[in-house]
C-alpha cells in the first residue's frame, strides 16, 4: 500500500499536455512548444571548461555534504557583490538544484498542522512540497490587475496562528512579475508583526530581470535575515538546468537542520557541477547579459503580439521568461467541433490538438484564468507560435 504522504501529492498537471505533445509529434504532426521551463541556450563556455578540467584533474569524489568550501566561498562573495548580503560560507548549503533546497527547507521548518502561505499563481512544486512536509498549503489568489502580486492586506488576511512559512517567488514562475522594493517593504511591514513566520525567498530568476534591478525581501528588510531562507541556483541565469546545482543561504540553525536532512537523503551535489558553479560565479557575466538581452527582445515581441489579440489580457512581465495572459474571455466558448472550453486546461488541450501549440494551463499554477507561455524559444518558433495562437483563438466562438 502506498503511503498516505505519497498519495497526498498531486501528479504534475503539466504532464498531460506534454504527453499529448509527444504523442502528436510521434504521429508526425508539427508541434511548436512554448511550455519549456528552461533556457534554450547552452551553458557558457568557460563554465563547461571548468567542469572538463575538474574531470581531467580527477576531482571525482564526494565533496563536503554542504558543498565545497570554494563554491560556498564563491556564493558568499556573489551574495555580497550582487545583493549586498553578508553570509558566511557556513550559512550556505549547496544542493542538487534550487528545487532540493526548497524541499529540504520545508522539511526543516514545517510540522504537521503548520501552514505555508503560497501566493497563486505559484510554481507547481511549492504546495506539494509543503504537503510532503505534512503541512497545509494556504494559497492566496492574487489578481491580474495587481500583476498577480500579493498585496500586504492579502498577506495579513492569510496569516493564522498556525502560519509558519511564507513563500515568495520573484521574478515569478509562471507570471514573470517582479515585486518592487517598495512592494516588498510593505509586505515586510506586515511580517514584522509576526516574528515566528519564516520567509522562503525563491530568487532563481534573479539574473533574468529586464528593467529595474532585482530586489528580494532582504534588500527591502535586512532585519528579516534571521528568518529568511534565500534560495537561488545556476539553472536559469547560466542555462545550467541539467547540471543540478542550487543553494540555500539562511540563519545558521536552519542551515544546520537542512544539512542534516541533506546528509541523510542525498549528500552534496555533483563535484563536477560544483566546479562549474564556482566558475560561473567567479567568471565573467557576458553570457548572462547576452541571454537576458535575448529574453528581453523576445518578451517585447510576444507581449506586443498578445496585446494585439482581442480578448486576451496581458501585462508586460519584468522578469523570467514567461508571460501569463488572462484567457477568461474564451471560457465558455465553443470549438468548431462544438466542444466547450470550460477551463484553461481545455483551452491548452485545444491549442495543442488543433494548432499543434503547446502551452501550460493556469490550472496547474492555481490560477484558472491564465495560461503560461514560455519564450525560452527561438524567434522563429515564437513567430510561428503567435500565428497558431491567433488562429486558434479566432476560431473559437
* Minimum separation from the CB atom of position 223 to ligand PLP (A): 25
Three-class DSSP category at 147:
coil
CA distances in angstroms from 128 to 10, 15, 136, 236, 364, listed in the order given: 7, 15, 9, 22, 12
Q: Which is nearer to ligand PLP, 123 or 281 (CB)?
A: 123
Task: Please return the burial class of 137, using the count of CB atoms within 10 Å of its CB with bins 0-12, 13-18 and 19+.
Answer: buried
* Minimum separation from the CB atom of position 322 to ligand PLP (A): 9
CA angle 200, 177, 314 (to 5 degrees): 150
Q: Which is nearer to ligand PLP, 237 or 356 (CB)?
A: 237
C-beta separation of 67 from 247 below 8 A: yes
* Minimum separation from the CB atom of position 58 to ligand PLP (A): 27
C-beta separation of 165 from 119 below 8 A: no
* Minimum separation from the CB atom of position 266 to ligand PLP (A): 13
* Minimum separation from the CB atom of position 229 to ligand PLP (A): 13
* Minimum separation from the CB atom of position 372 to ligand PLP (A): 11
CA angle 77, 82, 83 (to 5 degrees): 95
Q: Which is nearer to ligand PLP, 179 or 350 (CB)?
A: 179
Task: Please return the burial class of 140, using the count of CB atoms within 10 Å of its CB with bins 0-12, 13-18 and 19+.
Answer: middle
Q: Which is nearer to ligand PLP, 9 or 394 (CB)?
A: 9
C-beta separation of 162 from 115 below 8 A: yes
Q: Which is nearer to ligand PLP, 280 or 393 (CB)?
A: 280
Q: Which long-range contacts (CB under 8 A, 24 or more apart) does 335-343 make?
A: 335/395, 335/396, 336/395, 336/397, 341/396, 343/368
Q: Which is nearer to ligand PLP, 97 or 356 (CB)?
A: 97
* Minimum separation from the CB atom of position 127 to ligand PLP (A): 13
* Minimum separation from the CB atom of position 234 to ligand PLP (A): 7
d(CA 87, CA 77): 8
Q: Which is nearer to ligand PLP, 78 or 99 (CB)?
A: 99
d(CA 268, CA 100): 11
* Residue of this chain nearest to ligand PLP (CB atom): 97
Q: Which is nearer to ligand PLP, 133 or 386 (CB)?
A: 133
* Minimum separation from the CB atom of position 394 to ligand PLP (A): 31
- DSSP one-letter string for 230-265: EEEESTTTTT-GGG--EEEE--HHHHHHHHHHHHHH
Other CB atoms within 10 A of residue 88 CB: 12
Binding stretches for ligand PLP (CB under 6 A): 37, 97-99, 123, 169, 173, 202, 204, 233, 235, 241, 246
Q: Which is nearer to ligand PLP, 228 or 235 (CB)?
A: 235
Q: Give the CB-side neighbour count of residue 154, counting CA atoms within 13 A.
A: 17
Amino acid at each position: 500500500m502506498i503511503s498516505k504522504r505519497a498519495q497526498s501529492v498531486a501528479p504534475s498537471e503539466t504532464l498531460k499536455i506534454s504527453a499529448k505533445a509527444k504523442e502528436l509529434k510521434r504521429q508526425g504532426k508539427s508541434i511548436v512548444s512554448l511550455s519549456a521551463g528552461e533556457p534554450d541556450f547552452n551553458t557558457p563556455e568557460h563554465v563547461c571548461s571548468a567542469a572538463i578540467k575538474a574531470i581531467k584533474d580527477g576531482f571525482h569524489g564526494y565533496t563536503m555534504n554542504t558543498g565545497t568550501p570554494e563554491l560556498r566561498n564563491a556564493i558568499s562573495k556573489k551574495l555580497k557583490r550582487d545583493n549586498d548580503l553578508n553570509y558566511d560560507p557556513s550559512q550556505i548549503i549547496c544542493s542538487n538544484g534550487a528545487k532540493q533546497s526548497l524541499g529540504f527547507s520545508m522539511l526543516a521548518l514545517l510540522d504537521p498542522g503548520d501552514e505555508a502561505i503560497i501566493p497563486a499563481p505559484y510554481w507547481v512544486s511549492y504546495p506539494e512540497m509543503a504537503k510532503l512536509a505534512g503541512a497545509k498549503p494556504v494559497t492566496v489568489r492574487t489578481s491580474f490587475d495587481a500583476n498577480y502580486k500579493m498585496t500586504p492586506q492579502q498577506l495579513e488576511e492569510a496569516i493564522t496562528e498556525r502560519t509558519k512559512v511564507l513563500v515568495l517567488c520573484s521574478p515569478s514562475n509562471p507570471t514573470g512579475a517582479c515585486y518592487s522594493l517598495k512592494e516588498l517593504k510593505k509586505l515586510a511591514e506586515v511580517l514584522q508583526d509576526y516574528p515566528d513566520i519564516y520567509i522562503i525567498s525563491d530568487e532563481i530568476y534573479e539574473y533574468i530581470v529586464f528593467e529595474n534591478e532585482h530586489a528580494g525581501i532582504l534588500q527591502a528588510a535586512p532585519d528579516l535575515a534571521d528568518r529568511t531562507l534565500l534560495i537561488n541556483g545556476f539553472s536559469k541565469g547560466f542555462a545550467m538546468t541539467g547540471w543540478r546545482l542550487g543553494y540555500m543561504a539562511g540563519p545558521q540553525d536552519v542551515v544546520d537542520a537542512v544539512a542534516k536532512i541533506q546528509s541523510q537523503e542525498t549528500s552534496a551535489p555533483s563535484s563536477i557541477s560544483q566546479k562549474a558553479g564556482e566558475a560561473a560565479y567567479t567568471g565573467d557575466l557576458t553570457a548572462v547579459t547576452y541571454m537576458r538581452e535575448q529574453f528581453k527582445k523576445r518578451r517585447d515581441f510576444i507581449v506586443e503580439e498578445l496585446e494585439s489579440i482581442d480578448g486576451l489580457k496581458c501585462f508586460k512581465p519584468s522578469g523570467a521568461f514567461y508571460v501569463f495572459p488572462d484567457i477568461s474571455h474564451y471560457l465558455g466558448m465553443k470549438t468548431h467541433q462544438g466542444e466547450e472550453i470550460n477551463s484553461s486546461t481545455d483551452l491548452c488541450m485545444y491549442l495543442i490538438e488543433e494548432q499543434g501549440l503547446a502551452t501550460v494551463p493556469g490550472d496547474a499554477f492555481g490560477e484558472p484564468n491564465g495560461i503560461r507561455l514560455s519564450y525560452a524559444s527561438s524567434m522563429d518558433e515564437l513567430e510561428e507560435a503567435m500565428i497558431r495562437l491567433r488562429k486558434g483563438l479566432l476560431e473559437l466562438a
